[in-house]
């Protein structure tokens, strides 16, 4: 109240006709207004500091929660990566006494869209396949795993005939398997597509039947060093809706080759040929093929390991932009 009374008195004196008094009072009022402004500014500053401090505490809390969630995601991805690896062939060097296999797999993320497998169909025949789902990461990995499950023995896709009549069952040939997959995995259902090599090898006769759906063709490396590719097949799986009309048949072509003892079959994904070094140069199919032919006398385990080593050395261990998969088999007799 004293301040208010003093203020009122100053106003009365300000109205005084004495100029000196008026000027002094005017200066006092300006001084008081300046002090008042500083008090307001100080109060506002204190409020801002308090709000900033509270916001900083909340931000630190949110950051800790974010770090915890990120750690959980990383743990989940690591677990998913281990699960994905567990689906790959268990023993890469002793599948049977007739064939030897080897493989290398490096996803560009923790998990990837590449997957491959080796499946015994009967006493003589084995199925080999390699899949590359478009993209990489969680979505691609999930699609790859569903296809893996779909190709398991219990699904019935690899055989024809009734389960009750085992002798009546026949092995479904590669082209038919790919036709089934193309119907089962339309793009509109999964918003993605995938490529695949599917090969059946009769280890008794050495006869090989192959078909591909948009995947890099498997390579046959003969014992004498000759190299050939298996190119027949059709479009990627999931592109059934790209047909000109619904009446257009789904067709995948097959080819047949004969393997002799010492011949090797190599599957790969485009992550191999499109691997880049620091200068942006691609490893390329020519370099890959030259490397394979130079290793013709090595066991398939060494051929795959040394091919992978050559790839990584070319790129100076640069992080791959796509998943890298290599699978090789050798007919022993």
> 287, exposed or middle or buried, with CB in 10 Å at 0-12, 13-18, 19+?
middle
- In the structure, what pLDDT confidence band is assigned to residue 5 with cuts at 50, 70 and 90? low
String of b and e for 223-256 (b: at least 16 CB within 10 Å)? eeeeeeebebbbbbbbbbeeeeeeeeeeebebbe
The CA distance from 101 to 214, in Å, is 24
Give me the mean pLDDT over the 27-46 stretch.
Answer: 75
- Is the pLDDT reported for residue 228 higher than 60? yes
pLDDT of residue 163: 46
Nearest by Cα to 158 from 143, 140, 177, 139: 177
User: For 275-320, what is each residue's pLDDT tens digit?
Assistant: 999 889 999 999 999 999 999 999 999 999 999 999 999 999 888 8
Q: If DSSP codes are grouped into helix, strand and coil, which group holds residue 222?
A: coil
CB atoms within 10 A of CB 134: 18
Alpha-carbon dihedral sign for residues 263, 264, 265, 271: negative
The CA distance from 158 to 174, in Å, is 9
């Amino acid at each position: 109240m004293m301040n208010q009374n003093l203020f009122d008195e100053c106003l009365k004196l300000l109205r005084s006709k004495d100029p000196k008094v008026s000027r002094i009072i005017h200066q006092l009022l300006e001084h008081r207004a300046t002090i008042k402004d500083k008090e307001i500014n100080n109060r506002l500053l204190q409020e801002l500091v308090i709000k900033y401090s509270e916001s900083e505490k909340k931000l630190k809390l949110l950051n800790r929660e974010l770090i915890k969630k990120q750690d959980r995601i990383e743990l989940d991805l690591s677990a998913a990566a281990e699960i994905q690896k567990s689906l790959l062939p268990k023993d890469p060097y002793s599948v049977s006494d007739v064939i030897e296999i080897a493989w290398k797999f490096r996803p560009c993320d923790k998990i990837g869209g590449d997957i491959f497998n080796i499946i015994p169909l009967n006493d003589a025949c084995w199925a080999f396949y390699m899949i590359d789902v478009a993209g990489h990461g969680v979505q691609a990995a999930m699609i790859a795993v569903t296809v893996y499950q779909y190709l398991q023995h219990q699904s019935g896709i690899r055989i024809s005939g009734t389960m009750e009549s085992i002798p009546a069952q026949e092995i479904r040939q590669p082209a038919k398997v790919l036709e089934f997959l193309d119907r089962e995995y339309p793009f509109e259902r999964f918003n993605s597509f995938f490529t695949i090599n599917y090969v059946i090898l009769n280890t008794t006769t050495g006869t090989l039947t192959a078909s591909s759906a948009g995947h890099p063709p498997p390579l046959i490396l003969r014992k004498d060093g000759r190299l050939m590719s298996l190119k027949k097949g059709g479009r990627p799986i999931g592109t059934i809706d790209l047909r000109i009309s619904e009446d257009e048949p789904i067709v995948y072509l097959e080819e047949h080759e004969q393997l002799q003892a010492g011949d090797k079959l190599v599957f790969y994904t485009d992550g191999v040929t499109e691997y880049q070094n620091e200068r942006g140069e691609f490893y390329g199919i020519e370099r890959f093929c030259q490397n394979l032919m130079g290793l013709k006398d090595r066991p398939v385990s060494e051929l795959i390991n040394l091919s992978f080593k050559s790839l990584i050395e070319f790129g100076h261990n640069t992080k791959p932009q796509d998943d890298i998969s290599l699978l090789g088999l050798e007919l022993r007799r």
